[in-house]
């Protein structure tokens, strides 16, 4: 052990030997400097740890722990078109589960393509930073810009596949770069429209580099091609490298134009990053409509420049609002992902305190029954509230609201005006001598006139209403099926649900007995099972094909799963929605005649793994053991 005097040899060398007092002073200074440096380092580490813990989880990289945790003691071998897990001592082949899944039987695409496809069985390594884009044909500068921006998002998705554990990316050979050549020959409009052709063709082949050719008739179709290409690339944890197929060809197009997910942000507020992450997950499954039920009687979190009083009176607080800048940011992100944002401000029912300011500005009662008691008489759940159909200021305000929503979202060919669960008791109490159903019909017509004015003197091609008493006989016949579309939320076996289809209305299906994600969690106000019965599993969602009994007159635009949020907050959104919503995504894209067979389980499990790498906390389908041994669980 060195002596104490040897701690600082330089202090006792040369001319300093004769100054022991100076040496002592220098040693003291250095000691304090060391302690100060250690303190700074400790504070820095503590600050970094605090920052890491406080970061928005949506912005944190998420590894696929289910694959990362696989020990090389196991290998997977493709036998009879299925991956069998073996101990490495039992096989001369060392192959990871992700690679086996991608090569055994068919690659794990979700949703399954609708057209012909072929895939090579050989793999090649690729570099995470080796992707480049060449736009070989484009109908507009805006399409070109969107292609470049969407490609940047895809490249980030690829990079997220690579483990960030400090290890350098390696491979079994020289990794390839991938050149993506995109040709869009069709619409110059980057927006998703009701008539947008979302088809695409993807070919992948190996030359000096890998060449991926994507051809489409629209930006949205090309974006779907990006998504499919990204699903043909995976991370192999055994060799710590990205892999892809040596060659592939896919022709693909959706079965339905409207493939939606509804989120209610009025019962409980969800931060903007949650909405962004949800839209990313939708795009990963090729869903294309984010139906944003933004307001209800509980809160009005949308801050509008044209009617600022609505959020002022109706939001939970200043930290629970969506500003115009928030909306634009969400819409832009969605646009790059091929998703439309359809904002619904429900009316004439499902309004509340947000509309209570009319008398104070000389506009009279804009709404009745606001927070009326006993609420069971006037609404389905507290608090109550319903617009005054005889107040002309209501329609002036609706025109302002509709106009600003169209301006913020850029969606003018489809619009949702609500129309759910009007209370005849409320209007009967406050508007004596009027037939409440006639008032409801008149309100709907006047609301559509306001929408017509807000949309530049023309109605959107599809104006949606919720199915309700108004969409039953005899009032259904008084609605114009060429102007109005119906979102059918009633149970699939209800006579009224089928009557809408038989009457020839353009329809979006959201059957409560199949596609409501909030069912099965009991009632928030008592010990009952709640309003919509048991939990809807992903298998039930997948098996539901309501168009099978089409009478020939049905005009089904598509469907949407609905997530109402009385019993859901930001922390639980991902696990409640995913991967169940992904099941509907494949049903609406591919509409396989087969049900939830074995290959569907395995492909959905793989898709769930992809969602994890993109920061989506998707719930597991089953125990991890079943992911390792799927055919033993099926």
Question: Do you know the residue count of the chain?
Answer: 634
- Please give the structure tokens belonging to residue 501: 């289809």
Instruction: From the candidates 365, 421, 442, 591, give the one annotated as an active-site residue.
Output: 421
User: Is 15 an annotated catalytic residue?
Assistant: no
Q: What is the C-alpha separation between 457 and 461, in angstroms, rounded?
A: 12
* β-pair type (123-137, 241-245): antiparallel
Compute the distance between CA of residue 182 and CA of residue 225 in angstroms, rounded to an integer: 9
d(CA 542, CA 595): 7
Secondary structure string (H, E, C) spanning 505-523: CEEEECCHHHHECCCCCCC
Question: How many C-beta atoms surround the C-beta of residue 275 within 10 A?
Answer: 24
Q: Is 469 a catalytic residue?
A: no
User: What CA–CA distance (Å, rounded) separates 370 from 574?
Assistant: 33
> In 330-358, which positions are buried (b, 16+ CB within 10 angstroms) versus exposed (e)?
bbebbbbbbbbbbbbbbbbbbbbbbbbbb
Which among 301, 297, 51, 289 has a CA at the least distance from the CA of 191? 289
d(CA 415, CA 463): 5
How many angstroms separate the most distant Cα atoms in the chain? Answer: 112
Instruction: Provide DSSP, 555-621.
Output: EEEEEEEEE--TT--GGGHHHHHTTHHHHHHHHHHT--SS-S-HHHHHHHHHHHHHHHHTT--PPPS
The CA R_g of the chain, rounded to the nearest whole Å, is 29
Query: How far apart are the C-alpha atoms of 458 and 291, rounded to whole Å?
Result: 22
The residue from 157, 264, 296, 599 that is catalytic is 296
Based on the residue annotation, tell me whether 412 is a catalytic residue of this protein. Answer: no
Residue of 486, 560, 464 lying closest to 516 (CA atoms): 560
Q: Please state, in angstroms and rounded to a whole number, the distance separating the CA atoms of residues 210 and 197.
A: 27
Are 460 and 343 a contacting pair, CB within 8 Å? no
Catalytic residue among 217, 350, 416, 617: 350
Q: Which letter does DSSP use for residue 6 in this model? A: G
> What is the spatial distance between Cα 311 and Cα 368, in angstroms, rounded to a whole number?
18
Alpha helix (H) ranges present in 55-198?
65-68, 97-103, 141-159
Strands in 233-236's sheet, in edge-to-edge order, are 117-119, 248-252, 200-206, 210-216, 176-184, 123-137, 241-245, 233-236
Alpha helices in 194-238 (DSSP H): 219-231
Number of neighbouring beta carbons within 10 Å of residue 414: 22
Residues marked active site are found at 296, 350, 421
């Amino acid at each position: 052990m060195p002596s104490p005097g040897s701690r600082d040899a330089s202090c006792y060398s040369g001319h300093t030997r004769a100054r022991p007092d100076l040496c002592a002073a220098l040693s003291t200074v250095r000691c304090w400097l060391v302690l100060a440096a250690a303190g700074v380092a400790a504070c820095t580490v503590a600050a970094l740890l605090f920052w890491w813990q406080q970061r928005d989880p949506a912005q944190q990289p998420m590894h696929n722990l289910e694959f990362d945790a696989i020990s090389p003691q196991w290998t997977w071998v493709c036998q009879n078109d299925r991956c069998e897990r073996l101990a490495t001592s039992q096989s001369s082949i060392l192959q990871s589960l992700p690679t086996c899944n991608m090569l055994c039987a068919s690659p794990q695409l979700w949703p399954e393509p609708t057209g012909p496809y072929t895939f090579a069985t050989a793999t090649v390594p690729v570099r995470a930073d080796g992707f480049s884009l060449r736009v070989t044909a484009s109908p507009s500068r805006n399409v070109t810009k969107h292609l470049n921006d969407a490609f940047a998002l895809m490249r980030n998705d690829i990079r997220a596949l690579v483990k960030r554990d400090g290890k350098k990316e390696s491979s079994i050979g020289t990794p390839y770069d991938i050149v993506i050549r995109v040709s869009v020959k069709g619409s110059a409009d980057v927006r998703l429209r009701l008539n947008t052709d979302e088809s695409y063709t993807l070919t992948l082949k190996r030359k000096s580099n890998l060449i991926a050719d994507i051809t489409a008739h629209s930006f949205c179709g090309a974006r779907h091609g990006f998504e499919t290409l990204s699903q043909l690339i995976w991370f192999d944890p055994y060799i710590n490298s990205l892999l892809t197929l040596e060659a592939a060809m896919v022709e693909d197009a959706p079965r339905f134009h409207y493939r939606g997910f509804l989120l209610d942000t009025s019962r409980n507020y969800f931060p903007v990053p949650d909405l962004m992450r949800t839209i990313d997950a939708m795009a990963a499954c090729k869903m294309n409509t984010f139906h944003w039920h933004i307001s209800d009687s509980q809160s009005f979190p949308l801050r509008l420049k044209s009617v600022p009083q609505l959020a002022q009176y109706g939001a939970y607080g200043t930290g629970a609002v969506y500003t115009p800048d928030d909306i634009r940011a969400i819409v832009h992100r969605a646009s790059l992902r091929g998703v439309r944002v359809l904002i619904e401000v429900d009316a004439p029912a499902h309004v509340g305190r947000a509309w209570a300011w009319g008398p104070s500005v000389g506009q009279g009662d804009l709404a009745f029954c606001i927070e009326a008691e006993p609420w069971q008489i006037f609404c389905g759940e507290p608090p109550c509230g319903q617009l005054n159909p005889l107040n002309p200021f209501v329609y002036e305000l609706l025109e302002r609201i509709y106009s600003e929503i169209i301006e913020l979202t850029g969606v003018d060919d489809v619009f949702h005006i609500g129309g759910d669960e009007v209370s005849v008791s409320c209007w009967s109490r406050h508007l004596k001598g009027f037939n409440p159903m006639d008032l409801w019909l008149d309100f709907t017509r006047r609301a559509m006139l306001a929408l017509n004015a807000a949309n530049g003197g023309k109605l959107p091609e599809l104006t949606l209403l919720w199915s309700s008493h108004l969409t039953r006989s005899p009032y259904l016949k008084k609605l114009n099926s060429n102007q109005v579309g119906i979102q059918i939320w009633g149970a699939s076996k209800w006579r009224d649900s089928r009557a809408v289809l038989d009457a020839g209305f353009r329809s979006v299906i959201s059957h409560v007995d199949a596609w409501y994600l909030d069912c099965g969690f009991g009632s928030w106000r008592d010990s009952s099972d709640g309003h919509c019965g048991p939990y809807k599993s992903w298998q039930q969602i997948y098996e539901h094909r309501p168009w099978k009994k089409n009478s020939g007159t049905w005009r089904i635009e598509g469907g949407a799963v609905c997530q109402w949020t009385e019993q859901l907050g930001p922390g639980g959104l991902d696990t409640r929605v995913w991967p169940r919503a992904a099941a509907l995504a494949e049903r609406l894209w591919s509409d396989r005649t087969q049900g939830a067979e074995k290959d569907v389980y395995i492909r959905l499990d793989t898709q769930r793994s992809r969602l994890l790498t993109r920061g989506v906390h998707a719930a597991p389908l089953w125990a991890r053991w079943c992911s390792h041994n799927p055919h033993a669980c099926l």
